[in-house]
Amino acid sequence: MTDTSAPDGWFAEVEPGDTEAAASAIRHGEAETPADWPALAVESGFADDEAEYYDLLHEATVTAAREAAREAERADDKQLIHALRAMDDTERTANELAERVEEWAGALLSTETAATGLDFAAVVVQREPANATEERVISLAKRVVDLRDERDNLRTFMERRAPEVAPNLAKMAGPTLAARLISLAGGLETLAKKPSGTVQVLGAEDALFAHLRGHAPSPKHGVIFTHEFVRGTRPADRGSAARALAGKLSIAARIDHYAGDLRPELHEELRERMDTIRARGEDDEGTADADAGAANAGGADE
């Protein structure tokens, strides 16, 4: 016997052949309590029997999943990831082709320049070809320059979009590092859910796995090493600096994902923490200098 007091199912007010409406109902609808949905669907006339109900349900859920995947791929953080990866790809390809141009044109054309790599390709582009071979190498150099320009345009785009997608993360890490952390995590939401210890070693997966196999020491940091707070701290304190930075980056990612507003106090807290860590190093150096001075003075007295 069907419970007539049960809430309407996802199929309520949906025509059996309207897959898009059914998918939308499945994605956005909800029910407080479960019910015998197949029986209700048959009773309401949505399906002739339970087998047809499950066929319609399967078609609707597949459509809903595809639409959800398309929306996720169109999300702002995914566009930032695509821009970063495209920038990396164009830079790598440009550098590889620039080496080929330098080797080829260096033997073919007489160029009075000390430029190398991408800069050398830019010099070659200015030449007028004297024969078919020179035409080809100059054409290749143009492709290299085009790739370099596209890399620069992608970097500009990424640096403009990163603060819009993740304002706190971009302010704290800088647009490029922020985008790289989001890319390594697979998205802003995924990054926001990662513990700070994982954020600290993102980009150092090979070293981490080697450590887990007992073949290497535990890595202190991954890509966050490029941040001035880590790179610019003395080696003895880089572990502390990396932990402090990773902790605040984790908080920044969570705020960006769940709230989206800029929190100046978060960045001030990080600066104060870094000042404390770096002051520790200065104090140690001052103590060492004082001990050395005392030792020298003792030697003079003797």
Residue of 143 and 27 predicted with greater confidence = 143
* Res 301: pLDDT: 46
Q: Is 89 helix (H, G, I), strand (E, B) or coil?
A: helix
pTM above 0.95, yes or no: no
Angle at which helix 76-108 crosses helix 132-165, to 10 degrees, equals: 160
Q: Of 165, 196, 219, which residue constitutes the final position of a domain?
A: 165
Within the chain, what is the greatest distance between any pair of CA atoms?
108
Token pair belonging to 109: 């054309």
Alpha helices by DSSP H, 11-166: 19-28, 37-44, 50-74, 76-108, 117-125, 132-165
**In this structure, are 245 and 141 located in the same domain?**
no
**The last residue of a domain, from among 47, 74, 101:** 74
Burial of 138 (0-12, 13-18, 19+ CB in 10 A): buried
Confidence grade of residue 302 (pLDDT, cut at 50, 70, 90): very low
Q: Is 178 in the same domain as 268?
A: yes
Can you give 153-198 as a three-state secondary structure string? HHHHHHHHHHHHHCHHHHHHHCHHHHHHHHHHHCCHHHHHCCCHHH
- Please check whether residue 297 lies inside any domain of the structure: no
Q: Nearest 5°: phi and psi at 178?
A: -60, -45
- For residues 204 and 270, state if they share a domain: yes
The answer as to whether 155 is a domain residue is yes
**To which H or E segment does residue 254 belong?**
helix 238-258
| 3-class state of residue 201 by DSSP | coil
Residue 155: CATH number of its domain: 1.10.287.660
Confidence tier at 36 by pLDDT (50, 70, 90): confident
241 within some domain: yes
pLDDT tens digit sequence for 148-176: 999 999 999 999 999 999 999 999 999 99
68 and 124 share a domain?
no
CATH of residue 172's domain is 1.10.246.90
For residue 300, what pLDDT band results from cuts at 50, 70 and 90? very low
170 shares its domain with 269: yes
Q: Are residues 200 and 249 in the same domain?
A: yes
**237 shares a domain with 188:** yes
Q: Is 239 in the same domain as 146?
A: no
How is 92-131 classified by DSSP, letter by letter? HHHHHHHHHHHHHHHHHS-------HHHHHHHHHTSPPSS
Query: Is residue 94 situated within a structural domain?
Result: yes
| Residue 128 phi, psi (nearest 5) | -100, 130
Which residues form the domain of 218? 166-286
> Cα 118 from chain centroid?
26
Look at residue 80 and tell me whether its pLDDT is greater than 60.
yes
Of residues 229 and 114, the one with the higher pLDDT is: 229
Calculate the alpha carbon distances from 161 to 69, 81, 164, 175, 275 in Å. Answer: 22, 11, 5, 8, 30
- Any domain includes 145: yes
- pLDDT higher than threshold 90 for residue 53: no
Task: Write out the two tokens for 279.
Answer: 């002051």
Straight-line distance from the first to the last Cα atom of the chain, in angstroms, rounded to the nearest whole number: 106
Answer yes or no: do 273 and 183 share one domain.
Answer: yes
In this structure, the answer to whether residues 42 and 104 fall within a common structural domain is no
pLDDT in tens, 206-225: 777 776 777 777 778 899 99
Lowest mean pLDDT among 90-104, 142-156, 195-209: 195-209
Locate tokens 């403009």: which residue?
A: 160
Number of structural domains, the chain? 3
207 falls within a domain: yes
Q: Please, what is the average pLDDT of the chain?
A: 86
